[in-house]
Structure 1
Amino acid sequence: MCAVAGWLAAALARSRRLYRRSLGDRRWLLERERESAAHAAVETERARIARELHDIVSHNVSIMIVQAGAAREVLDMMPGEAAQALLAVEGAGRDTMTELRHLLGLLAPAPDGADETDLSPQPSLSRLSPLIDRIAFAGLPVEVRISGEPRPLPAGIDVTAYRIVQEALTNALRHGDATKAEVTVRYADHYLRVEVLNSGPSVLSGDRPPCTPRSDGTGRGLVGLRQRIAVYGGDLDARRRLGGGYRVRARIPLERP
């Protein structure tokens, strides 16, 4: 009887040790998973911030460079036009500061707890007109076509669609010899399609400008757009057109209205 009791006591002690060891291993695994999840979250947020900064700075600084160059060229002969161009530079600078202030306000709240976040509307397809006006004033006429029945979109998709148009038009303005651009937004039952075309030298002519966007669509801005669109299960196609110019086309799935 004593032997059986001793055996049971030893078995119980062994089971407790194994149980404690199992708990320790489980806690270690959970800690590793938490660390991995936290690291992934940090990297995702870092990539998101990098994309936002690129979109904000690249677009507005490009506008400022183009307008400042135009003002310099006509300053002596057409001071009125030069003044308009300089006002556009000032406006682009203010827009940049507003958007950066909004982004930084989200990243670093005020230490006293006061909410200093800029409450101006976020970029969206409903706010394309100011963007189109800025691009057109900088010298690139833009035609916009909307097909299907426009409807409210999820906030993330709405911002992404706006950024697609912004990046494509900024590249068209900044690179190459584009003389006009066309923006098409199509609202379908199950997807949203955004396409931006711009004119330029034909691929067949061999007159490729030295600063044309990369024909394989792997520029930093386009890579950022692909990452944005992939979050929503969409895809992006960016390439030079045989007839001349460049095309950016995105397709983002939507829930049926």
Structure 2
Amino acid sequence: MWGSGSDGLAAALAATGGVAGWLGIALVRARRRHRTALEERGWLLERERAGAAEAAVHAERARIAGELHDIVSHNVSVMVVQAGAAREVLAVRPDQAAAAMAAVEAAGRDAMTELRHLLGLLAPAADGSDSLAAGPLAPQPGLARLGPLVDRIAFAGLPVEVRISGEPRPLPGGIDATAYRIVQEALTNALKHGDGEQAEVTVRYADGSLRVEVLSSGPSVLTGAAPRPPADGAGRGLLGLRERVAVYGGDLDARRRLGGGYRVRARIPLDRP
């Protein structure tokens, strides 16, 4: 009888051990499947982010191409008009003809500078269509139009103080438009994400470069306040601005400030050939 009871207990223990072992194996397999699913999900998310970033770059390059088309077309139109005027007065008013030809030379130089910066970077559309379809020949926004931009932002609820240092001077069309877009994007983000009660824009004309900085106030990251997206300049708008600035050999930095708010700072060389 004792032997029979011992055998039954041993069998029960063996069965329990078998069940525990099976459960352990099942748990390990379930954890492995869960880890694999997480890794696959992370890979898919990373791939999606990379695809979104690439699409943003392509979209921004297409927009740059459109702006370049406007700049070059505008300059060529000026050249045609001024060349015609010089031909008309060449015999009777040589001084006016010389002034007209100087305007032709300046417009041609500006157009060639823009082409030199951009050629080789912008590719045609994937479907082979002409992405530079003719449009209005109006010059692109530049730093001269900061006033209306600041007024619009202030009217929407974000007061902006503008500081200009150095001696302002004419800029190449593409650089002028890029500087304007930097300020526009930074102020729009500050207004959209509610970064405090004010913003400061500083434009500095240095000897060999143009520097643009936009500071916005806001809650300190040290207080635990939720940071506004995108963090550290990872948004599509700022990604596109980095592309623009890089075209001219410059750099752009965008990040949250420890004391609160956000900072966007860019340096664009002005002495590149």
Give the TM-score normalised by the residue count of structure 2: 0.52
- 2:181 corresponds to: 163
Output the CA distance in 1 between the equivalents of 2:132 and 2:262: 35
- 2:62 corresponds to: 49
SS in 1 for 2:211: strand
SS in 1 for 2:271: coil
SS in 2 for 1:157: helix
What is the 5 A alignment of 1:70-219? Answer: 107-109=132-134, 117-209=135-227, 212-219=228-235
- 2:250 corresponds to: 234
Contact 1:202 1:208 in 2 (8 A): no
1:246 and 2:262 correspond: yes
SS in 2 for 1:213: coil
SS in 1 for 2:233: coil
Output the CA distance in 1 between the equivalents of 2:152 and 2:133: 30
Contact 1:146 1:186 in 2 (8 A): yes
Alignment CA distance shift 1:204-1:133 (3 Å): same
Output the CA distance in 1 between the equivalents of 2:58 and 2:219: 39
Deviation at 1:46, TM superposition (A): 5.2
SS in 2 for 1:208: coil
Output the CA distance in 1 between the equivalents of 2:159 and 2:196: 10
| Structure 2 alignment gaps of length 5 or more | 1-56, 67-130
Output the CA distance in 2 between the equivalents of 1:123 and 1:50: 14
Deviation at 1:255, TM superposition (A): 1.8
Output the CA distance in 2 between the equivalents of 1:129 and 1:173: 17
Deviation at 1:45, TM superposition (A): 7.4
Q: Which amino acid aligns with 1:222?
A: L
What is the 5 A alignment of 1:220-231? Answer: 220-231=236-247
SS in 2 for 1:139: coil
Give the TM-score normalised by the residue count of structure 1: 0.55
Output the CA distance in 1 between the equivalents of 2:147 and 2:63: 25
How much is the aligned-residue C-alpha RMSD, in angstroms?
A: 2.5
Deviation at 1:108, TM superposition (A): 2.8
Alignment CA distance shift 1:52-1:207 (3 Å): farther
SS in 2 for 1:216: helix
Deviation at 1:48, TM superposition (A): 1.9
- 2:14 corresponds to: none
Contact 2:195 2:262 in 1 (8 A): no
Alignment CA distance shift 1:154-1:162 (3 Å): same
Output the CA distance in 2 between the equivalents of 1:251 and 1:236: 7
Q: Higher Cα Rg: structure 1 or 2? A: 2
Identity %: 75
SS in 2 for 1:252: strand
Output the CA distance in 2 between the equivalents of 1:51 and 1:152: 20
Alignment CA distance shift 1:46-1:169 (3 Å): closer
Output the CA distance in 2 between the equivalents of 1:178 and 1:213: 15
Number of positions where the alignment pairs a residue of Structure 1 with one of Structure 2: 154
Output the CA distance in 1 between the equivalents of 2:251 and 2:147: 25
Contact 2:65 2:132 in 1 (8 A): no
Output the CA distance in 1 between the equivalents of 2:213 and 2:236: 19
Contact 1:51 1:221 in 2 (8 A): no
SS in 2 for 1:186: strand
Deviation at 1:149, TM superposition (A): 0.1
> What do the CA deviations read for 1:52-97 (whole angstroms, capped 9, x no partner)?
89xxxxxxxxxxxxxxxxxxxxxxxxxxxxxxxxxxxxxxxxxxxx
| Structure 1 alignment gaps of length 5 or more | 1-43, 54-105, 110-116
Contact 1:51 1:224 in 2 (8 A): no
